[in-house]
Amino acid sequence: MKRVVFRGGTLFDAESRCADPADVAVEDGRIVEVGTGLDGDEEVDCAGRGVLPGLIDCHVHVTMTSSDLFESVQQPFSLQFYEGARNMARTLAAGVTTVRDAAGADLGMRVAQERGLIAGPRMQISLNMLSQTGGHGDPWWPSTCVVDLLPPHPGRPPVVVDGPEEIRRKVRELVRAGADVIKAATSGGVVSGGAGPKIAHFRDDEIAMMVNEAAAAGLPVMAHAHGDGAKAAVRNGVRSIEHGHFLDDETLEMMAARGTWLVPTLSAGVGLRQAVEAGAGYPEHIVEKIKERTESSVRRAVEAGVPIAMGTDAPLYPHGENLLELELLVEQGMRPADALHAATLSAANLMGLGSSLGSLAPGKRADLVVVDGDPLDVRDLGKRVLAVYQDGRLVHAADRG
Q: Looking at 56-70, 112-126, 198-212, which range is the least confident one?
A: 56-70
Nearest to 380 by CA among 311, 326, 313, 333: 326
Same domain, 150 and 232: yes
Same domain, 165 and 130: yes
Return the C-alpha torsion angle 246, 248, 251, 257, nearest 10: 120
pLDDT recorded at residue 344:
98
| φ and ψ at residue 315, rounded to 5 degrees | -105, 15
pLDDT higher than threshold 90 for residue 75: no
Question: Has residue 331 been placed in a domain?
Answer: no
pLDDT recorded at residue 274:
81
Same domain, 221 and 111: yes
| φ and ψ at residue 281, rounded to 5 degrees | -85, 50
The CATH number that applies at residue 11 is 2.30.40.10
| φ and ψ at residue 271, rounded to 5 degrees | -65, -40
Across the chain, mean pLDDT equals: 93
Q: 118-175: per-residue pLDDT in tens?
A: 999 999 999 999 999 989 888 877 766 666 778 899 999 999 999 999 999 999 999 9
Using an 8 Å Cβ cutoff, are 312 and 96 in contact?
A: no
The CATH number that applies at residue 87 is 3.20.20.140
Q: What distances in angstroms separate CA 222 from CA 11, 50, 68, 169, one per listed residue?
A: 31, 33, 25, 18
CA separation for the pair 393, 395 (Å, rounded): 6
Same domain, 161 and 300: yes
Same domain, 310 and 198: yes
Same domain, 48 and 61: no
pLDDT recorded at residue 271:
85
pLDDT recorded at residue 1:
81
Same domain, 131 and 90: yes
Question: Has residue 203 been placed in a domain?
Answer: yes
pLDDT higher than threshold 80 for residue 70: no
Same domain, 160 and 44: no
Using an 8 Å Cβ cutoff, are 128 and 137 in contact?
A: yes
Question: Has residue 41 been placed in a domain?
Answer: yes
- Quote the distance between the C-alpha of residue 8 and its chain's center: 31
Question: Has residue 330 been placed in a domain?
Answer: no
Same domain, 275 and 373: no
Same domain, 280 and 211: yes
The pTM score is 0.95
Report which of residues 174 and 288 the model is more confident about: 174
Same domain, 66 and 49: no
Residue 139: domain span: 55-322
Q: 311-343: per-residue pLDDT in tens?
A: 999 999 999 999 999 999 999 999 999 999 999
Total number of domains in the chain: 2
Question: Has residue 24 been placed in a domain?
Answer: yes
* Secondary structure (3-state) at 215: helix
Q: Looking at 26-40, 58-72, 252-266, which range is the least confident one?
A: 58-72
pLDDT higher than threshold 90 for residue 183: yes
Same domain, 241 and 386: no
CA separation for the pair 165, 373 (Å, rounded): 54
Q: What share of the chain is helix, strand, coil (3-state, %, to 5)?
A: 30, 25, 45
